[in-house]
Amino acid sequence: MAAFMKPYEAQAFALARIFVGLLFLFHGAEKLFEFPGPPPQLPEALRYVAGVLELGCGGLVAIGFLTRWAAFIASGMMAVAYWLAHGTHALYPILNGGELAVLYCFVFLYISARGAGIWSIDAQRGG
């Protein structure tokens, strides 16, 4: 049944990369600029560092520039964020509220391994 999507694999991956990057970028915008909503309650230094990384890595992943490095850094950041904010509360992510951090961690790890794909600056540069 799903074989009809095979010809669109590259486009589907590119759309997923773009939207994951944009969603991550908005987490950073929220922390740095209080847009589109109020920032989470974090220590100021942690909020600033996380915001810069989320905004920067999210933007780079979305446009597909230095994608492997940006996604790798974002993946590591989400692993650290999970253990700092969620992992100490309960064993399972569904119980400790950390499923979004885990999801981002592994999606970014996959993007890091796969690269930017089509519709990216990396592809235009031959990387």
pLDDT in tens, 43-79: 999 999 999 999 999 999 999 999 999 999 999 999 9
What confidence score (pLDDT) does residue 82 get?
A: 96
In angstroms, rounded to a whole number, what is the distance separating the alpha carbons of residues 122 and 126?
Answer: 6
What confidence score (pLDDT) does residue 126 get?
A: 86
- Does the pTM surpass 0.85? The reply is yes
What confidence score (pLDDT) does residue 17 get?
A: 98
Q: Does position 1 have pLDDT exceeding 60, yes or no?
A: no
